[in-house]
């Protein structure tokens, strides 16, 4: 626990504590609508963190991460609907299947030296054909959708993940906090050093004793497993699953935009990005309602994203971090933190 | 810190789409020695290095480290077996600090990041780079980046170090500093060194044995004072003025 915060400047810890405290008390202060927005924000922050582990840490671009959300969502939902197995157990199946799929993609990609955008194409291909497969699987509801029984939402049942939005809020908040802690720990471990070496220069990494295949596979396995957990949350929060809306490439893009805007390769980028993009979308919905022009919201949303990326090409977080003096000064680097 | 190892290169060849880059090259590196591999540009020196380090698989022949064949081993396995190497064109991990770059090398023998970082500082101190440890490789001079390349290779605790033109682009005083470092390493730890080098000042100062390649073949080999008087070597590489 102590090592986790090692090297974070004191005022950074204070800010982090304030931010965490604000999130913990938020359900008591905000309206139901804001709470639902916060749940989506944290959901994207969590997924962004998982995806960032691959691209930001190890330099592996996945454009099909919706695949792992879908696998997690459908597997846990199927176990619940068909066999009555609660998500607390189903989540392990979700993780196992996501990791298995991730490792299959990784094996094909790394065994046959498929690099960069071509690896990204492979991830898209797997997401697309899983989509088609689910489309045609009656057992999973096919195109008509897969529905979880909506029960009384006033009680809290963590085992079956049935309950009020406040419960879901605390579940996703805990998940996001744990993912952040895990990523920070990983980044400062041998794995993190090796991943970054691979990201920066594969040949030099290999010459320095890094087994490329092994460490890339580990990155994919952890990232896909974490994303699979998000799928379980997705299924039990929304209660309905449609193949297109779960596995679609637009879903994969949506879940990585926040991290790109926030700062790829940073620990807080995914969080900041989610806190910018989701509320921005919600705000624009409100602002553009009166215009009655189709697509006007998407137009302004796209414009905002383009402007952010144009002016902060390495992400918003590195800029905020330097404003708050949280970026490590050269002499602070000894602990190797990357907050 | 290290133990020395012998390296035997036995009849290795490599062709790139019909072009014979290296042809039936055989030589030995004696444990604890410093040896140089010289020759004109395009002679195949770096290709030989890449075959030793496992980047290229030789078409024929084999390389032995302390009598163990390195055939079919991946570069990371060869690194762990005790062969450290630098790249002719420096390849630092640009987004990591100098110390972190070197720590990556040290993680071959420890899983403890702190231990790796501590060892990185020791190596950086040895190469006079300790004050730059928190800089990024993009923010230091080329000679320093060359040193960093050496430091990262040294951090893997190699038994034999392959240096690919680490003196190129260095000023004479910097070359002398590097030469001193290698001599000290070799003397203190028995580290075996094989260097590709064009800077004859360094080659003559360091090596006890020189292998000369041209057009992918070994054309001469022996003690520096003998090799540098060999008419073939003079004709293809050193030029007549080198005799003086």
Domain extent listing, chain B: 1-82+158-244, 91-157
Backbone angles phi, psi at A231, to 5 degrees: -60, -40
Q: Return d(Cα B1, Cα B188) in angstroms, integer.
A: 9
Give me the half-sphere count of Cα atoms (radius 13 Å) on the Cβ side of residue B34.
23
Give the residue-averaged pLDDT of B47-64.
94
Residue A128 in contact with residue A249, Cβ under 8 Å?
Answer: yes
Q: Return d(Cα B199, Cα B193) in angstroms, integer.
A: 16
Mutation for A interface: B110, B113, B114, most A CBs within 10 A: B113
Q: B96–A200: do the CB atoms touch at under 8 Å?
A: yes
Q: A211–B76: do the CB atoms touch at under 8 Å?
A: yes
Give me the half-sphere count of Cα atoms (radius 13 Å) on the Cβ side of residue A262.
28
Rounded to a whole number of angstroms, the distance between the first and last alpha carbons of chain B is 39
Q: Return d(Cα A41, Cα A35) in angstroms, integer.
A: 10
With CA atoms as reference, report the closest residue to A69 among A272, A223, A280, A278.
A223
Q: Return d(Cα A75, Cα A93) in angstroms, integer.
A: 7
- Which residues of chain B have a CB within 8 Å of the CB of A194? 104, 107
In a domain, A62, yes or no: yes
In a domain, A20, yes or no: no
Give me the half-sphere count of Cα atoms (radius 13 Å) on the Cβ side of residue B42.
5
Q: How many domains does chain A have?
A: 1
Q: Which CATH class is domain B1-82+158-244?
A: alpha beta
With CA atoms as reference, report the closest residue to A199 among B163, B92, B66.
B92
Residue B188 in contact with residue B125, Cβ under 8 Å?
Answer: no
Among the partner residues B91, B94, B156, nearest to A209 by beta-carbon distance: B156
State the ipTM, two decimals: 0.91
In a domain, A203, yes or no: yes
Q: A206–B75: do the CB atoms touch at under 8 Å?
A: yes
* Burial of B109 per CB tally in 10 Å (0-12, 13-18, 19+): middle
In a domain, A96, yes or no: yes
Mutation for B interface: A201, A204, A213, A216, most B CBs within 10 A: A204
Residue-level pLDDT, tens digit, chain A, 339 residues? 566 777 788 888 999 999 999 999 999 999 999 999 999 999 999 999 999 999 999 999 999 999 999 999 999 999 999 999 999 999 999 999 999 999 999 999 999 988 889 999 999 999 999 999 999 999 998 889 999 887 666 677 888 888 889 999 999 999 999 999 999 999 999 999 999 999 999 999 999 999 999 999 999 999 999 999 999 999 999 999 999 999 999 999 999 999 999 999 999 999 999 999 999 988 888 888 777 788 888 888 889 889 998 999 889 999 999 888 887 644 444 344 444
Q: B107–A193: do the CB atoms touch at under 8 Å?
A: yes
The DSSP secondary structure of B69-123, one letter per residue, reads E-TT--HHHHHHHTEEE--SS----TTS-HHHHHHHHHTTT-S-HHHHHHHHHHH
Among the partner residues B53, B91, B113, nearest to A193 by beta-carbon distance: B113
- β-pairing verdict for B192-196 and B34-38: parallel
Q: B179 is written with which tokens? A: 């030469």
Query: Closest-CA residue in chain A for B137?
Result: A200
**The pTM is what?**
0.91
With CA atoms as reference, report the closest residue to B197 among B217, B226, B168, B220.
B168
Domain containing A287: what range?
37-335
What does each C-alpha distance from B74 to A211, B21, B56, B70, B78 come to in angstroms?
8, 21, 9, 9, 6
C-beta neighbour count of A140 within 10 angstroms? 19
In a domain, A253, yes or no: yes
């Amino acid at each position: 626990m102590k090592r986790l915060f090692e090297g974070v400047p004191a005022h950074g810890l204070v800010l982090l504590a304030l931010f965490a405290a604000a999130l913990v008390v938020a359900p008591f202060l905000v309206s139901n609508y804001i709470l639902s927005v916060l749940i989506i924000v944290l959901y994207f922050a969590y997924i962004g963190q998982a995806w960032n582990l691959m691209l930001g840490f190890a330099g592996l671009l996945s454009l099909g991460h919706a695949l792992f959300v879908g696998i997690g969502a459908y597997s846990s939902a199927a176990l619940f609907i068909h066999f009555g197995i609660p998500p607390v157990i189903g989540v392990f199946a979700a993780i196992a299947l996501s990791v298995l799929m991730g490792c299959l993609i990784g094996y094909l990609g790394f065994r046959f030296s498929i690099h960069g955008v071509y690896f990204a194409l492979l991830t898209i291909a797997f997401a697309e054909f899983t989509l088609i497969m689910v489309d045609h699987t009656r057992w999973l509801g096919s195109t008509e959708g897969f529905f979880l029984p909506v029960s009384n939402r006033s009680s809290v049942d963590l085992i079956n993940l049935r309950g009020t939005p406040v419960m879901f809020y605390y579940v996703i908040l805990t998940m996001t906090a744990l993912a952040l802690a895990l990523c920070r720990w990983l980044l400062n471990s041998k794995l993190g050093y090796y991943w970054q070496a691979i990201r920066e220069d594969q040949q030099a990494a290999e010459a320095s004793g890094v087994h490329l295949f092994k460490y890339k596979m580990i990155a994919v396995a952890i990232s896909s497993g974490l994303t699979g957990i998000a799928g379980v949350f997705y299924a039990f929060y929304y209660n309905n699953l449609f193949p297109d809306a779960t596995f679609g490439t637009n879903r994969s893009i949506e879940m990585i935009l926040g991290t790109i805007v926030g700062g790829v390769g940073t620990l807080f980028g995914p969080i900041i990005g989610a806190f910018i993009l989701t509320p921005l979308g919600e705000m624009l919905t409100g602002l553009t309602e009166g215009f009655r022009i189709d697509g006007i919201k998407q137009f302004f949303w796209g414009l905002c994203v383009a402007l952010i990326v144009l002016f902060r090409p390495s992400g918003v977080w590195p800029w905020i971090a330097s404003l708050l003096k949280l970026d490590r000064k050269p002499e602070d680097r000894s602990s190797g933190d990357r907050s | 810190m290290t133990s020395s190892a012998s390296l035997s290169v036995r009849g290795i060849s490599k062709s790139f789409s019909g072009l014979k880059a290296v042809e039936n090259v055989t030589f030995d590196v004696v444990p604890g020695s410093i040896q140089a591999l010289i020759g004109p540009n395009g002679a195949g020196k770096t290709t030989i290095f890449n075959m030793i380090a496992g980047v290229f698989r030789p078409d024929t022949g084999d390389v032995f480290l302390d009598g163990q064949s390195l055939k079919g081993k991946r570069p990371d396995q060869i690194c762990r077996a005790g062969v450290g190497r630098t790249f002719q064109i420096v390849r630092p991990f640009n987004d990591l600090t100098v110390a972190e770059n070197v720590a990556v090398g040290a993680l071959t023998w420890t899983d403890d990041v702190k231990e790796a970082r501590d060892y990185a500082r020791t190596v950086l101190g040895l190469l006079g780079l300790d004050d730059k440890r928190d800089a990024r490789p993009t923010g230091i001079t080329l000679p320093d980046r060359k040193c960093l390349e050496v430091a990262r290779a040294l951090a893997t605790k190699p038994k034999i170090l392959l240096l690919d033109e680490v003196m190129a682009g260095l000023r004479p005083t910097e070359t002398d500093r590097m030469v001193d470092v290698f001599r000290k390493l070799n003397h203190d730890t028995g580290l075996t060194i094989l260097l590709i080098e064009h800077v004859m000042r360094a080659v003559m100062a360091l090596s006890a044995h020189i292998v000369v390649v041209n057009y992918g073949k070994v054309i001469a080999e022996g003690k520096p004072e003998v090799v540098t008087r060999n008419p073939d070597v003079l004709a293809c590489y050193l030029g007549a003025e080198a005799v003086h």
